[in-house]
Amino acid sequence: MRNIIITFILIALPLSVSAAPTKHWGFANYHSFKGGKSTGVLLPNTGGLLAGLRTTKAKTASATPGLFYTMAKLGNTLYIGSGDPAAIWTLRGNTLNKVSDLPKDLIITKLVKGPGNYLLAATVPMGHIYKVTPDGKATLLVQLPANHIWDLAVKGTTLYAATGPDASLFSININTKKATKVWSVKEDHLLSIALDSKGEILVGTSPEARLYRVSPTTKKGTLVYDFPGNEIRQIIVGKKSVFVAANQLTYRASTSYATNHYKAAGKKHSGTRAALTANPKSSFTRRSVVQGSGTLYALDSRRIAEPMLAIQRGYFTKIQREGDEIYGADGQSGRIYRMNVNDFSGAIVLQTEERQVLDFVIEKEKSGFVATGDGAALYTLSRSQGKAVNYESVVLNAQRAAQFGNVLFQLENGLVNIETRSGATPKPEDTLWSPWRALAGVHALPSGLKQGKVISPGAQYIQFRVLWPAGSKASLKSLQLFFTPSNLKPRIIALNVSGATSGGYAGANPQSDSVIPATPRMRSGEIKFSWSVLNWDGDSLIYKVWVKKAGDKLWRRLAARKTLTSTYYTWQAGFVPDGVYVVKVSASDSPSNVPGQELTSEKISLPFVIDNRAPLLTGLTVRNGMVNFSVADKFSRITGASYRIAGGKWKMVLPVDSLFDSMKEKFRFPLCKTLPRGVHLIQVRVMDAAGNIATFSQEFTK
């Protein structure tokens, strides 16, 4: 876990905050807490925070290896196997001492206790198995005809080894040092091994992620379950269930680990989704693993695999059972999870600074050890010694400058200290964030909650942290942090008018005039206003609409008795006098603010024309087969004209200059030459840009 202590210099700026609604952040369930950083804090999936294990990082007496991969106890001494270089270390006090080098090997992949007072150590890539005495001296027991030994299991004087790259299971007589191939399968690796109560051997494969049961007597294997993923990292045999950690990994080609192929999607497990899903702590690509995910399953006697814990981005490196709890380590986030085998309740037990936990031992959740890669380290776990137990929240974003108020929190079984810090940047920086400061005036409320005042200065960002005093076993059940964000003015950024003659501006996109409909409808005279608003703080808004003739001083409010909350309004302007008008719209956040603290903005439209009168036609004559007339409108451009003879079809005609581009147009066009002699009726229909249509008729003689 990261425990960063920095001295901050605060630059405090005056903060003007209007009376916006009070808001708060709430923390109670697992998902609300899981994004933060914790040192020795348990994060149960049932919610809240619990004091957990403290960590102490061991020192190394010599050069630190690339990684600490495996560990085992012999008596009261802890032995650790490392990689790059392969060596055996012991922990004395708080110091790691290298006691044996294995120069022919790269990594010690497994340490297990032998049937006597010694350990057995497996390696890659030479397939060596060593016997390690209490003084740390390693002597070669056997070299298997396999390059990679991934797991070991001991039964009496027989040692079983899971190997690759030919996915073979070997048995070794520890006394005679004779190795025998028991079973193999057409895959690349056997990565995990466990012994059941019947003396049979369970093995997990890669890249098919299959669980087999192998009889050491008949040397035959039976498929137990085909898991999603491409490796089974570890197996634990319980009384009612077998617990399996299965991963889906993609490796770089240069890795010294087993190179697994991606198994295509479509292979489904029979259970439901996992009881707990662990999201990634951060985006991280290891030197060897490109990407991965992992799931912990409980496989019962009916061969139903129920997922207990799913790591979305990461993978299992080790699982351990103690009583009713299964612990699982993530090789990407540095976390160790705990899951109850009965109700599947879970918790994040701890989180290391190094993001790759490779092995661990937890003893009654009071003590233990953690070995890591991605920066080799060994941690001692304790309830009483080591780093202080604390939890640091994610950075909380008020979206804009805010003033902070009280913190309400619920505690059980002890005390904690709560501190806050605030700043102007999404990531805490030395000169832009305040130092950590304890809540002021913490006291108990009649409800049982506790309350304290945040004294960190107003800012956009804030964090809180919880610190457990030495010996405290307090449980933080919930926490609420209250704040008031500064009020932001709503901005009307666009105001549109439709249904009126306003010019129809569309830039480089050409527009066409409307065609006179065959059956004209009654013109409604509606003018529609619509507007767009920037409402940065999400306040509830109300609007007011006014109109006036261009040049007038007094505004006339529309819908004065209504509260407008929509960003549009329709004005029934069919009987409004013709003329040039403008509309004004205001936006106010008064519903979300106390009187006197609301903010308002307004916008005035471009001038638009209300034209409720139809165009006037004059001088309609028909002489010598030619029709002549003029059309004029006071406020709108003439946009169309058509005629017909004696109830025939309407025919469109153009002005003399062929363009409808004026409020006055002249028309001259010939009649059909086949029109018979006699008296006829001509009808002429004209339309302006406002949609007003007028029809005129006149008799003529040919």
Q: At CB < 8 A and 24+ separation, what contacts does 403-406 make?
A: 403/15, 403/17, 403/458, 403/483, 403/484, 403/486, 404/454, 404/456, 404/458, 404/462, 404/481, 404/482, 404/483, 405/22, 405/453, 405/454, 405/482, 405/483, 405/484, 406/451, 406/452, 406/453, 406/454, 406/482
* Contact (CB, 8 A) for 191 and 162: yes
List the structure tokens of 218: 């008949």
Task: State the CATH number of the domain containing residue 474.
Answer: 2.60.120
Q: What is the pLDDT of residue 187?
A: 96
Over 70: is that where the pLDDT of 31 sits?
yes
Task: Quick: pLDDT tens for 504-524.
Answer: 555 667 777 777 887 777 777
CA distances 482 to 197, 391, 453, 479, Å, are 56, 19, 10, 10
Over 80: is that where the pLDDT of 45 sits?
no
List the structure tokens of 498: 């439709």
List the structure tokens of 366: 């009071």
- The SS3 call for residue 238 is coil
Q: What is the pLDDT of residue 521?
A: 75
Burial of 284 (0-12, 13-18, 19+ CB in 10 A): middle
Does one domain contain both 586 and 630?
Answer: no
pLDDT bracket for residue 431 (50, 70, 90): confident
Chosen domain end from 610, 639, 668: 610
Does one domain contain both 481 and 498?
Answer: no
Which residue from 355, 544, 390 is spatially nearest to 469, judged by alpha carbons?
390
CA pair distance 36, 393, nearest whole angstrom: 4
pLDDT bracket for residue 286 (50, 70, 90): very low
Q: What is the pLDDT of residue 391?
A: 94
Q: What is the pLDDT of residue 372?
A: 93
Q: What is the pLDDT of residue 140?
A: 97
* Contact (CB, 8 A) for 575 and 525: yes
The terminus-to-terminus CA distance of the chain in angstroms comes to: 104
Domains of the chain: total: 4
pTM to 2 decimal places: 0.61
Whole-number average pLDDT of the chain: 88
Does one domain contain both 123 and 105?
Answer: yes
- Arithmetic mean of pLDDT, 351-367: 88
Is 10 contained in some domain? Answer: no
Which residue from 166, 150, 139, 181 is spatially nearest to 69, judged by alpha carbons?
150
Does one domain contain both 37 and 72?
Answer: no
What is the domain range of residue 593? 491-503+518-610
CA pair distance 41, 47, nearest whole angstrom: 12
Does one domain contain both 165 and 234?
Answer: yes
Does one domain contain both 122 and 99?
Answer: yes
Does one domain contain both 48 and 133?
Answer: no
List the structure tokens of 196: 């059941």
Cα 619 from chain centroid? 74
- Arithmetic mean of pLDDT, 92-117: 95
**Identity (one letter) of the amino acid at 167?**
A
